[in-house]
Each structure stands twice: as structure tokens, then as C-alpha cells.
A and B are shown apart, each in its own frame.
Chain A
Amino acid sequence: MDNDKEIESRIDQVLQAEKENQIPRMTKRDYIIAAVITVIALLGIIGGFFL
């Protein structure tokens, strides 16, 4: 029961932190960079077929 209370309290704090963006989020730019790296890696893999 005490564990449940502790978990509930922590969940509330985590959700509050999420609302306040206390943990910096991945931005659109970050996602774009990730997509570009992914595409480059994929092109490299495809290129490997021709070696």
C-alpha cells in the first residue's frame, strides 16, 4: 500500500514535469536529423550490394 502511494506520488510528479517540459523533449529538428541519418545509413546499406 505504501509502495502504491509512493508510485502514485512519483507518477504525479513525472506527469507534472512532463507538462512543464522539465525533461527537454526531442524537437522537430532532432527528428529531422534522425531521419536524415537513417536515410544516409539506408543508402549506404543499399550501396553495399554493389561492392
Chain B
Amino acid sequence: MSRKHDVNKEIENEVYCGTLPVLPKERKYGFIDALLVLSGYCIATWSYTQGSYLATLVGFKQLLIGAFLAAIFMLMVYQLPVIMSVRYGIDIWIWLRSVFGPKGNKIVTIIIILVNFPWYAVCCELFADSMENLLGLFGIQLFNGAHLILSLSCVVIGTIIALRGVGTITWTTRILVPLLLLVGVAVVVVGFTSVPMDVIWNYQPELAGDADKTVNYVLNIEANFAFVITLVGGMAEVPRLAKSEKSGYYAGVLGQGAAGSFFVVVGAVMAIAMRYVTGQMVDDPTLMMATLSAPILGLSSLLLVAFANIGTQAVGSYIYGVMLKSTFKKISYKTLVLVLGVYVALLCVWGKITEYFGSFLTIGACVYAPLAALLFVDFFLIRKQKLDLKSAYELPGHNAYRYSKGFNIVGIICLALGFCFTLVIYDPIKGIVHNKLLFMLTPTLASFIFTGVLYLLLSKIPGIRRYIRRDTYASPDKRPFDRAKVPPRQNIFFLPLMWLLCKMAVSPYKLKIDKHNMEGIKPPFLVYGSHNSFMDFYVTPLALNPYRANYISELEGFENFGEWIYRQAGCLGTRKFINDQSLIRNIARVIKRGDIMVIYPEARYANVGTNSHLTPSIAKLAKMLKVPVVTLNMQGNYLQQPIWNLKERKGARLHADLKCVVTADEIDKLSVDEILGRISRELTYDEYKYQLENKIVINDEWRAEGLHYPLYKCRKCGKDFAMTSSGSKITCKYCGDSYEMDELGQLHSSSGEVIHIPDWYEWQRGFVHEEIREGRYKLDIPVRVEALPNAVNFVDCGIGRLIQDNEGFSLEFDNYRTEKHEILKFPAKSMVSLHTEYDYRGKFGPCVTLSTYDDTFFIYPTEESRDVFNPTKIQFATEFLGGLYS
């Protein structure tokens, strides 16, 4: 077996094992172990560069605050998500797939390497500087270009070591960390003993004439924020090996914030001491020791620093090579390490990385700050500390993080905007402050806050929330909706916008509103409206203009459009067909404060454009409230968008009648039956009759598609669930009996028979009633169940069973609240009807819903029950068993 094969195999193994979730029993690190490992990673010769850079900005005391407090402050915040790494034994690169999508994550990985790898060019520069300086001390002058050759040699040797694989790197690390510690100790001793203590303590930099002390202090804080934040990439793989969340977290904080910062301060001390002695700031420990102690010490330290720089370069190539390999599995490790080597070499050829150290640090932070903010917000506030690991690992059948072809557009946009936001505040290349107010927060912190808030706000928009939270089943919000919450009045500022939106929605359909008996009728009053389609919610506000109103809405609408918007629109959330006393109290509140209360008493869209039976409870409510009763009968809304096919029909024409049917004087005098009679009379409608009488032409070629949902029984062969529809036809799949829907909404058989759609619909109902009376009716099918506990998300309740018989419903499902497979009973007499959907939200297919006070269960057929699951038939049975047709 060749050496090359060994290395490749080792790396494959490293990549494979390096990405697997680490089990609790495999954890290696307690707090001290993790601290030592992370400290080792943070200590490198670039710490001296950072220290000497800080010493050019601020005095020693401010430098100490920056190095320790700023570092610890930033680490305390951005290391918090590390607890996820510990909890699940995974590194952040796996988790980032949920934030950016698997393909988006690849791009982010490349960006991170592009902004991070210049650190290693700094090492190579330091190596070349050390060599040059020391040879200079011995009087050896190098030729032009020797500096570049020396720095490139560091790249080459480091790359060769990295190519040799895991074993060599392990040994390199074992030697490297003690060496660096040794150099550090030597620097501290020499630095503090060669100049008086007060020189260092009272040090102040010589600032250029136009330099602003405050700006420099902020830059000092910024440099430390950036310094610690840009190291997260390399440190990401350690916390998953920690044995407790606390140890992983604090090891990260103190590894960088204490050990790493100490070496930064050491670098500053060295630079200050050298300036005191020679008048020049240097970041080269070799030169310092040779100058401040003895050349022999400088020579010794040369060997240490030389090896340390080469070792750091090698370890960096290895870590990032493995990281790239885990992202780009098809490219060989060797190729990836060589690409990294070429990148560093190019930076060395450019030769200005040390000069632009502060710039590159801030540019790195420009990427890392939004990245860290996204991690923080995503973990704590959006996913609530739960990740769908199987989707993160892209296991077959687990696609929650695929998003848009592998990219989470929202995460990527937030990252890009966060990056741009930093540049709006500060130009890191030219060092120009664009916005001093935000600059005082530091570009890194401002970008962190901006990106975090942006991501959080975007996640509150329902459509975006559903997009980024496709894994809600992993950590659903289970808090029940607060039905008792007092509904706000319709937002007065929101109202003109709402009217405008409504006007725009109805304008293609030429809405005409007629008002009857409405003279002198002012709020408060009660409105009962017909319910045909979503268009009702556009027509009603226009009919009630100029008054504002409150509306009762099923909770599902809150989830779909967002609770905030629904509240502003004046909606009261409830669940259908439950005895909701909180709702009654809220209705009374609305009336008491002098507003209009709009109720759609059928509580469901008309299946075929005809009204449902109304119950006496609506008349009782009117009597209880003692306010005028107004009806709103809307025509054309069903024709425009019937529930069985949600495509809009442009030919539809809308008309609405707003009529006061009971005045305030009459409300006490009339009986419940009389009130109900008046309301029912005004809310009787037949959309197809309206279409025919008004000759409303709807000529869309697909006008009958979906009609088989309400018309499920074949008129000829009598089979249930026999109908299919296509174009303008509805056909029996068994006997072939077919009907053409004309442009005025009537059905024509091949024999010339003309069918009024509601007649067919009601004809079916009779059969269901007969089945129940004869004791033949029973539904017993497997179903897929989702619960809607609140306005935030659905909760997957697995595969269950739905039984409907004369007793009512029995629903067997995985109860997410008790985490048990349970059966819920819904007695037949407790429900007068049922909410049905034929194609929920135009993509989820047919379903029915059953509600408790705290949950609405959306019940879908499984593959097995798809052919026998018809919401219309289930609704017919529910209404009969519930007494609506008794």
C-alpha cells in the first residue's frame, strides 16, 4: 500500500469521522482539556502582529481593556451557540446547512476560507521577517526578492507537512504549542525586564495630527472583536468533543478571551519595549529578543519562531483542507491543500498583508459578524435550540434544509446585507468612517446586531417563516393560541391601506354594493355575512366603509398571514365548531366599545355556491347583544373562486346586499325564531342561479376542474368517489357518464339533460342520510394528522386513524402534548358541521379539520385512503348526525 493511498484513506476517514455526530461516550474533553486545545489553537505568532497593531492605536490601559474585555464580551455572546455543538456532537458547518442550505453552505465555506486564510500569509511574512532581521543582525544583507522567497518557502514546507496527513500534523501540533508557549514566556520575560514597568503601563502611541482618540479606541475594540470572531472557523470542531455544554462554552470563551488575549498583550508589550529602546514598533519576537537581550537568544528564538510559523501554516492548511474536503467530497484532499497553498503564496507575492492587517481583520469580521448573528438568532430564537439532524446530514427522505435547490435564500441575503451594512459604516481599506454614530458600536457589533434583528424580523413574516422553518416538526411551538386575548380595534392607520387593497382586489370584478334599510344605522351593530370564498374579506370592509369592524377568523388564517397582521385587521381568532366562551366574551367587548362585529355564521365556504342551514344560536347572540342586525349577502364571490378550484375566474361579477334586518327597537320584541327567520331569508343564495339570471359568462377552459370534490357520486351508476374532472367536463371513471359545464355554470349530459349543480350536490346528501338512518354509514380509514395549536406552526402528529359513525368522530393519532398514541372522541351532537378543504392552500390536497380548545387537527388521507376520503361526504354525515338537518 503506497504512502499516497494511506494519506487519502486517512483523510477520507478524518472527513467521515470528522462530520459524524459524536456520541456522549466518545467525548474526550473536560473543561481543562478543551481549554488547552482551544488555547493552543489561538496562540500563534499572529498574536504578536495583533498586539503591535493595537499598540499603534491606543495606550496600554485601553489596549488591555480591548484585548481582554472586548474579546470576552464578544466571545460570551457569539460562543453561546457552541452549546448546540456540544449537545448534538456536531460542528457548526453541519448546522450552517440549516441557515444557508447545503449548497449555500459550500459558498459560505469558500468565502470563510478566502477571508480567513490571510492569517497564514501573516505567518509566512513573519517567518520571512524573522529570517531577514536575524541575518541582518549578523551583518548579512539579502538580495532583492529574498523576502518573497523566504515567505514562499514557509508556504511550501507547511503545505508539504499538511500533505503528509493526520499523523504528521498531530506531531506538529504536539511540538508547536509548547514551542509557542516557550517563545511567549521568553518574550514576556525579556519585554518586562528590559524596560521600566511604568514605560509600558503609561504608554501612549504617537498619533498623527488628524487622528481621533475615540476613533482609535473604537478601532481597538473592533480589532479585538474581529480577532476573536474570525477564529471561529478553525475552532468549530473542538466543542463537539466536550463532555458538558458549560465546559465547551467556557473553554471557547477563555481559550480565546484569556489565553489568546494574553499573547496579544505580550505582542503589545514587546512592541512598546522595542519602540522605547529602538524607536521602532516591531511585531517580530526574534528581532526583539536579539535586540533586547542577546543575539544568541535571538538565534534560539529564530528556530522556535521559524518552526512555529511553518507549523501554524501546516496545521491551517490541514484544518481548512479537511473542512473543504467535507464540503467538496469529490475533490481530493491533496488538490485542496495545494489550492490553499497557492492562495497563500499569491498573498505573499502581493506582499502587503501585514500592511493591511487591520483591513483584512475587519473584512473578515464583515463576514463573520453576520454569520455569528445568524447562528445566534437561528439557534436561540428561530429554531429554539432544536435542529433536524437528519435533514442537516441530508439523509434520504429528510429534505427540510434543501430550501431553493440547496440554497436558503433568506440566510444568504441576510449574510450579504450584514456584510454591506458593515461597509456602510466603515471602509476598512481606506480607514474612512462613514457613520460615526454606528461606528461607535464598532462595525462588527453593529453588523452583528443588524443581521440578527433582520433575520429575526424576516422570520416573523409568515411566508418566510414557513420557508426557513421547514423543520418545525423538530421543534414546534406548542403553546396554545390565546383565544381570550382582547381583540384590538381595527388599526386606524391600517384601515385606508386595507380599503385600498380591497378596492384593488375587487376592481376586476366590478363590485356593486346595494344598501337597504341602512339609513341611521351606525355602530355598534352585528353583521352576518354569507361565506363563499376569500373574496368575502375584501368585499365586507368596502360594504362597511367608512366604519371599522372586527371579524371572526379561523386560527388557520392567523398562521397563514401572521398574527400581527390579522390583529391589525381586527380579527378575533377561534377554532371552528367548538363551544368558545372566550369568543362570546370578546364579541361582547367589541360591541360594548361601539364597533361592528362581523360574523360569517355558516363558518365554512359554500361548496357549490349555496347557503348552509343556520342555527338559532346566531339569533340568540343578537338578542344578547341588543344591537341592530345587518346581513351582507355577497354574490359572485363563489363564482370568482370556488373552493374546489382556487384559480380566479376573471369573468365573475360581484354584487353585495347590505341590509338591516333587525333594528335596535325590534331586537327585544322579536323572538329567536323570528330573528333567525329574517337572517336566514336574507342569507339564502344560489350562486349558479345568480350566474344564470345575470348571464355571467365564465369561459375558462378549466372551469370544471375540481368539481368532482363536491360532486363525488355518479348520477348514473351511483358509485361514490367515482367522479373525475378535467377541463370543462366531469366524468365517472367507472361508467363513463360525462357532463359538460357550460359558460353559465350549468351541466349538460350527452343526452341533453341540464343539471343545476346544487341539485346534484343535495341529491348526494340524501344518500348519506339514508346510509346513516339504515346504520350502514361508517368511515374507518388511515389518515395523516397535523395539529395547529397556535398562529405559529403546524405540528406533525403522524399517521393515525379516523373513524366516523353514528357516535361521531374518533381520531387516533400521536398526541404531541402527551407524546403518546391516543384516541380523541368528538361526539356527533357536539358539531353541527365540519370544516373541509378540497385542496388546502392549493398544494396540500383534501382534508377535514376537527378542533379542541387548544388544537385544530388537519386530517389528510394517506396514499391508502386517498380514493375513499371525500370531505363532502364526511361533511354531509357530520351535519346530519349533528342535527343540522333533523
- Is there contact, CB below 8 Å, between A18 and B73? no
B72 within 8 A of A: yes
Contact with A along B774-801 (1 / 0, CB 8 A): 0000000000000000000000000000
- Contact residues in B for A42 (Cβ distance below 8 Å): 73
- Is there contact, CB below 8 Å, between B87 and A37? no
- Is there contact, CB below 8 Å, between A38 and B214? no
- Contact residues in A for B245 (Cβ distance below 8 Å): 23-26, 30
Cα of A48 to Cα of B62 in the assembled complex, Å: 6
- Is there contact, CB below 8 Å, between A15 and B65? no
B24 within 8 A of A: yes
- Is there contact, CB below 8 Å, between A49 and B86? no
Nearest A-chain residue to B221, judged by Cβ: A45
- Contact residues in A for B86 (Cβ distance below 8 Å): 23
Nearest A-chain residue to B390, judged by Cβ: A11
Within 8 A of B (CB), among A1-41: 3-4, 6-8, 10-11, 13-15, 17-18, 22-26, 30, 34, 37-38, 41
- Is there contact, CB below 8 Å, between A51 and B61? yes
- Contact residues in B for A30 (Cβ distance below 8 Å): 245-246, 249
- Is there contact, CB below 8 Å, between A18 and B87? yes
- Is there contact, CB below 8 Å, between B21 and A10? yes
B399 within 8 A of A: no
A48-B217 CB under 8 A given contacts A17-B23, A23-B243: yes
- Is there contact, CB below 8 Å, between A11 and B393? yes
- Is there contact, CB below 8 Å, between A41 and B69? yes
Nearest B-chain residue to A31, judged by Cβ: B80
A contact residues, total (Cβ < 8 Å): 29
B328 within 8 A of A: no
Contact with A along B387-414 (1 / 0, CB 8 A): 0011001011000000000000000000
A14-B70 CB under 8 A given contacts A4-B395, A51-B62: no
Cα of A7 to Cα of B61 in the assembled complex, Å: 50
Cα of A4 to Cα of B391 in the assembled complex, Å: 12
- Contact residues in B for A11 (Cβ distance below 8 Å): 21, 389-390, 393, 395
- Is there contact, CB below 8 Å, between A14 and B23? yes
Contact with A along B64-96 (1 / 0, CB 8 A): 011001101100110010010011110000000
Give the dominant DSSP class at B's interface.
helix
Of the candidates A3, A13, A41, which one forms a contact with B16 in the assembled complex, judged by CB atoms under 8 Å apart?
A: A3
Distance of B69 from chain A, by nearest CB (Å): 4
Distance of A44 from chain B, by nearest CB (Å): 4
- Is there contact, CB below 8 Å, between B65 and A44? yes
Distance of B111 from chain A, by nearest CB (Å): 26
Of the candidates A23, A25, A37, which one forms a contact with B24 in the assembled complex, judged by CB atoms under 8 Å apart?
A: A23
Nearest A-chain residue to B61, judged by Cβ: A51
- Is there contact, CB below 8 Å, between B24 and A49? no
- Is there contact, CB below 8 Å, between B62 and A7? no
B59 within 8 A of A: yes
Cα of A7 to Cα of B62 in the assembled complex, Å: 49
Cα of A46 to Cα of B179 in the assembled complex, Å: 36
Contact with A along B232-268 (1 / 0, CB 8 A): 0000000000011110010000000000000000000
Cα of A47 to Cα of B76 in the assembled complex, Å: 19
Of the candidates A10, A24, A47, A48, which one forms a contact with B246 in the assembled complex, judged by CB atoms under 8 Å apart?
A: A24
Cα of A24 to Cα of B31 in the assembled complex, Å: 13
- Is there contact, CB below 8 Å, between B389 and A34? no
- Contact residues in A for B16 (Cβ distance below 8 Å): 3
- Is there contact, CB below 8 Å, between A17 and B390? no
Of the candidates A22, A41, A49, which one forms a contact with B76 in the assembled complex, judged by CB atoms under 8 Å apart?
A: A41
- Contact residues in B for A7 (Cβ distance below 8 Å): 20-21, 393, 395
Cα of A46 to Cα of B395 in the assembled complex, Å: 48
B contact residues, total (Cβ < 8 Å): 36
- Contact residues in A for B21 (Cβ distance below 8 Å): 7, 10-11, 13-14
- Is there contact, CB below 8 Å, between A8 and B390? yes
Distance of A47 from chain B, by nearest CB (Å): 7
Of the candidates B70, B244, B249, B390, which one forms a contact with A23 in the assembled complex, judged by CB atoms under 8 Å apart?
A: B244
Distance of A18 from chain B, by nearest CB (Å): 6
A17-B217 CB under 8 A given contacts A4-B396, A24-B244, A48-B66: no
Cα of A22 to Cα of B22 in the assembled complex, Å: 13
Distance of B287 from chain A, by nearest CB (Å): 30
Cα of A30 to Cα of B89 in the assembled complex, Å: 20
- Contact residues in B for A38 (Cβ distance below 8 Å): 73, 76-77
- Contact residues in A for B73 (Cβ distance below 8 Å): 38, 41-42, 45
- Contact residues in B for A34 (Cβ distance below 8 Å): 76, 80, 249
Nearest A-chain residue to B249, judged by Cβ: A26
- Is there contact, CB below 8 Å, between A25 and B87? yes
- Contact residues in A for B249 (Cβ distance below 8 Å): 26, 30, 34
Cα of A46 to Cα of B563 in the assembled complex, Å: 39
- Contact residues in A for B390 (Cβ distance below 8 Å): 8, 11
- Contact residues in A for B27 (Cβ distance below 8 Å): 23
Of the candidates A14, A24, A41, A47, which one forms a contact with B88 in the assembled complex, judged by CB atoms under 8 Å apart?
A: A14
Among B27, B80, B88, B214, residue most surrounded by chain A Cβ atoms (within 10 Å): B88
- Contact residues in A for B243 (Cβ distance below 8 Å): 23-24
- Contact residues in B for A41 (Cβ distance below 8 Å): 69-70, 72-73, 76
Cα of A6 to Cα of B66 in the assembled complex, Å: 46
Distance of A40 from chain B, by nearest CB (Å): 8
- Contact residues in A for B70 (Cβ distance below 8 Å): 41, 45
- Contact residues in A for B393 (Cβ distance below 8 Å): 7, 11
Cα of A47 to Cα of B221 in the assembled complex, Å: 12
Cα of A21 to Cα of B466 in the assembled complex, Å: 30
Cα of A10 to Cα of B88 in the assembled complex, Å: 10
- Is there contact, CB below 8 Å, between B72 and A37? yes
Distance of A2 from chain B, by nearest CB (Å): 11
Nearest A-chain residue to B86, judged by Cβ: A23
Cα of A35 to Cα of B390 in the assembled complex, Å: 33
Among A30, A34, A41, A51, residue most surrounded by chain B Cβ atoms (within 10 Å): A41
Cα of A39 to Cα of B877 in the assembled complex, Å: 63
- Is there contact, CB below 8 Å, between B24 and A22? yes
Nearest B-chain residue to A1, judged by Cβ: B396
Distance of A26 from chain B, by nearest CB (Å): 5
- Is there contact, CB below 8 Å, between B65 and A45? yes
Cα of A3 to Cα of B62 in the assembled complex, Å: 52
- Contact residues in B for A13 (Cβ distance below 8 Å): 21, 23
- Is there contact, CB below 8 Å, between B20 and A6? yes
- Contact residues in B for A17 (Cβ distance below 8 Å): 23-24
Distance of A39 from chain B, by nearest CB (Å): 9
- Is there contact, CB below 8 Å, between B72 and A26? no
Nearest B-chain residue to A6, judged by Cβ: B20
A8-B72 CB under 8 A given contacts A23-B86, A24-B245: no
- Contact residues in A for B88 (Cβ distance below 8 Å): 14, 18
- Contact residues in A for B59 (Cβ distance below 8 Å): 51
Cα of A22 to Cα of B395 in the assembled complex, Å: 25
Nearest B-chain residue to A11, judged by Cβ: B389
- Is there contact, CB below 8 Å, between B83 and A26? yes
6 A/B residue pairs, CB under 8 Å, sorted by A? A14-B24, A17-B24, A18-B87, A24-B244, A38-B73, A45-B65
- A26-B245, A49-B214 known, 5 other contacts, Cβ within 8 Å: A15-B389, A23-B24, A24-B244, A34-B249, A45-B66
Return the 6 tightest CB-CB contacts between A and B, nearest first: A41-B73, A44-B69, A48-B65, A24-B244, A38-B76, A22-B24
